[in-house]
């Protein structure tokens, strides 16, 4: 019995156009929609956590297994296996490293092993972009990005695609040098945008139409009473914003509610655990808004809280598109899996 798989390293992934944000936004939208059409299998994350608490995890690290199947034009199964080494920066290594395995949904055989590191940042940026498209004010001009790491680049790219009205970007990082590095790279890419490295989060949030949090915070540093009317507060990672950001919101929107409750690290999840937020308080998942059963932003005054936990089906959608292109154009290395 012989069986080959395709191996796609980071360079091969670039050749498949993994960094195409417009395509990733379409993939992510499709994944949200297929989720609500029940054309996915989305069993949630399994967290291989070092230590006992989230605080331990943010020092010692974790590896998350995120399996899934996505139907529609993708028709692909697989798993995202993402290592997070928070102390990797001391060795000059990125925090996140991602391996994606794709499996034929019929035979269940593996067909591809790929570096999914770029997929992960691109699809997370795309998720943020979809949230901005549906939930931010149509004329949003100021965004504050908290956390100037790997995700910040794709959050910004997608934000500028989905809200081309943006003119000013405040950047806050607990390590100001990270914000400096992020800004000097971004200035070259977006010369018409005004960038501001700030350590005054309150002032930055108070003037922002969009606040996009991609940090490793485990203690909230953003207060709800700083949010101006019409703000979209995006809790893209863990415990970054206080309960008031949820309580004062006119709408609470998420990507995958059951997964958020299962992961149990974001503000709205912790509030749900403490009985401060109920299932019926949730306005919508993004997919419900995309298929039209729930409303997007309805006025310029609404404050909207958004939380994303992510799911393997988002990565598998992007990976499946890249894999199909690799097959068509002979990109990557064919490896004998069974000889
Ligand atoms: N929602 C999703 O689907 C999804 C997907 C991928 C990553 N994430 C999350 O996004 C976050 C960022 O990921 P990354 O790959 O960019 O990480 P990274 O390590 O590359 O960057 C994180 C940045 O946040 C800064 N930071 C840490 N704590 C902070 C604090 N309290 N206040 C301000 N800045 C702080 C760090 O200095 C660093 O510059 C992680 O928590 C990750 O789990 C979410």
* Same domain? 163 vs 28: no
* Same domain? 143 vs 253: yes
Minimal CA–CA distance to 128: which of 308, 311, 320? 308
- Establish if 129 belongs to a structural domain: no
* Same domain? 43 vs 151: no
- Establish if 130 belongs to a structural domain: no
| Residue with CA closest to ligand 1 atom 9 | 237
Is 320 strand, coil or helix?
Answer: helix
Q: What is the CATH number of the domain that holds 319?
A: 3.30.1780.10
Which of 146, 214, 217 to probe ligand 1 with, by most ligand atoms within 8 A of CB? 214
CA gap 323, 68 in Å, rounded? 16
- Establish if 180 belongs to a structural domain: yes
- Establish if 125 belongs to a structural domain: no
Token pair belonging to 64: 């998350």
Instruction: Give the pTM.
Output: 0.96
- Establish if 219 belongs to a structural domain: yes
* Same domain? 85 vs 210: no
Identify the residue whose tokens are 């974790």.
Answer: 62
CA gap 265, 307 in Å, rounded? 11
- Establish if 234 belongs to a structural domain: yes
Return the pLDDT at 129.
Answer: 98
Return the pLDDT at 57.
Answer: 82
* Same domain? 150 vs 110: no
Domain enclosing residue 21, as ranges? 3-120+312-338
* Same domain? 47 vs 154: no
Identify the residue whose tokens are 């029940």.
Answer: 38
Give me ligand 1 centre to Cα 216, in Å. Answer: 4
Residue 179 main-chain phi, psi, to 5 deg? -65, -40
* Same domain? 164 vs 266: yes
The answer, yes or no, to whether any atom of ligand 1 lies below 6 A from the CB of 85, is no
- Establish if 35 belongs to a structural domain: yes
pLDDT tens-digit map of 181-223:
999 999 999 999 999 999 999 999 999 999 999 999 989 999 9
Return the pLDDT at 44.
Answer: 84
The answer, yes or no, to whether any atom of ligand 1 lies below 6 A from the CB of 119, is no
Give me ligand 1 centre to Cα 276, in Å. Answer: 26
pLDDT tens-digit map of 271-318:
999 999 999 999 999 999 999 999 999 999 999 999 999 999 999 999
CA gap 10, 229 in Å, rounded? 42
The answer, yes or no, to whether any atom of ligand 1 lies below 6 A from the CB of 313, is no
Burial class (CB in 10 A: 0-12, 13-18, 19+), 184: exposed
- Establish if 325 belongs to a structural domain: yes
Residue 229 is among the residues annotated as catalytic for this protein: no
CA gap 160, 132 in Å, rounded? 10
* Same domain? 17 vs 66: yes
Atom of ligand 1 nearest to the CA of 219: 31
- Total Cβ atoms within 10 A of residue 137: 21
* Same domain? 283 vs 321: no
Atom of ligand 1 nearest to the CA of 179: 39
* Same domain? 282 vs 185: yes
* Same domain? 165 vs 294: yes
Identify the residue whose tokens are 């949003």.
Answer: 140
| Residue with CA closest to ligand 1 atom 17 | 149
The answer, yes or no, to whether any atom of ligand 1 lies below 6 A from the CB of 13, is no
pLDDT string in tens for the chain (339-residue length): 999 999 999 999 999 999 999 999 999 999 999 999 999 999 988 999 999 887 788 889 999 999 999 999 999 999 999 999 999 999 999 999 999 999 999 999 999 999 999 999 999 999 999 999 999 999 999 999 999 999 999 999 999 999 999 999 999 999 999 999 999 999 999 999 999 999 999 999 999 999 999 999 989 999 999 999 999 999 998 899 999 999 999 999 999 999 999 989 999 999 999 999 999 999 999 999 999 999 999 999 999 999 999 999 999 999 999 999 999 999 999 999 999
| Residue with CA closest to ligand 1 atom 32 | 174
The angle, 0 to 180 degrees and rounded to 10, between the axes of the packed helices 176-189 and 150-162 is 40
* Same domain? 265 vs 330: no
Which of the residues 11, 29, 45, 80 is marked catalytic? 80
Return the pLDDT at 238.
Answer: 86
CA gap 104, 262 in Å, rounded? 28
Alpha helices by DSSP H, listed for the chain, are 10-15, 21-36, 54-60, 117-135, 150-162, 176-189, 201-206, 243-247, 257-263, 267-273, 286-291, 312-329
Q: How many independent structural domains does the chain possess?
A: 2
Q: What is the CATH number of the domain that holds 287?
A: 3.40.50.720
């Amino acid at each position: 019995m012989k069986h080959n798989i395709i191996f796609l390293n980071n360079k091969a992934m670039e050749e498949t156009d993994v960094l195409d944000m417009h395509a990733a936004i379409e993939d992510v939208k499709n994944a949200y929609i297929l989720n609500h059409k029940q054309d996915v299998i989305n069993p949630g994350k399994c967290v291989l956590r070092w230590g006992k608490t989230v605080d331990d995890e943010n020092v010692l690290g974790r590896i998350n297994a995120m399996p899934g199947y996505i139907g529609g034009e993708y028709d692909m199964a697989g798993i995202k296996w993402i290592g997070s080494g928070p102390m990797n920066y001391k060795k000059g290594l990125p925090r996140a490293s991602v391996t994606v395995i794709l499996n034929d949904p019929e035979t269940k055989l593996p067909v591809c092993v790929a570096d999914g590191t770029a997929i992960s940042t691109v699809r997370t940026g795309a998720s943020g972009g979809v949230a901005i498209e549906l939930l931010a004010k149509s004329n949003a001009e100021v965004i504050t990005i908290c956390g100037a790491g790997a995700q910040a680049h794709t959050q910004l790219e997608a934000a500028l695609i989905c809200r081309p009205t943006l003119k000013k970007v405040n950047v806050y990082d607990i390590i100001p040098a990270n914000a400096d590095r992020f800004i000097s790279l971004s200035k070259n890419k977006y010369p018409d945008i005004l960038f501001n490295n700030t350590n005054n989060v309150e002032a930055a949030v108070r003037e922002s139409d969009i606040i996009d949090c991609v940090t490793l915070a485990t203690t909230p540093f953003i207060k709800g009473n700083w949010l101006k009317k019409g703000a979209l507060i995006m809790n893209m990672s863990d415990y970054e914003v206080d309960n008031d950001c949820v309580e004062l919101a006119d709408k609470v929107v998420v990507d995958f509610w059951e997964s958020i409750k299962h992961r149990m690290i974001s503000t709205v999840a912790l509030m749900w655990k403490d009985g401060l937020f109920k299932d019926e308080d949730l306005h919508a998942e993004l997919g419900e808004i995309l298929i039209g059963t729930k409303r997007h932003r309805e006025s310029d005054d609404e404050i909207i809280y958004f939380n994303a936990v992510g799911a393997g089906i988002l990565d598998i959608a992007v990976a499946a598109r890249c894999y199909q292109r690799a097959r068509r154009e002979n990109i990557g290395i064919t490896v004998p899996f069974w000889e």
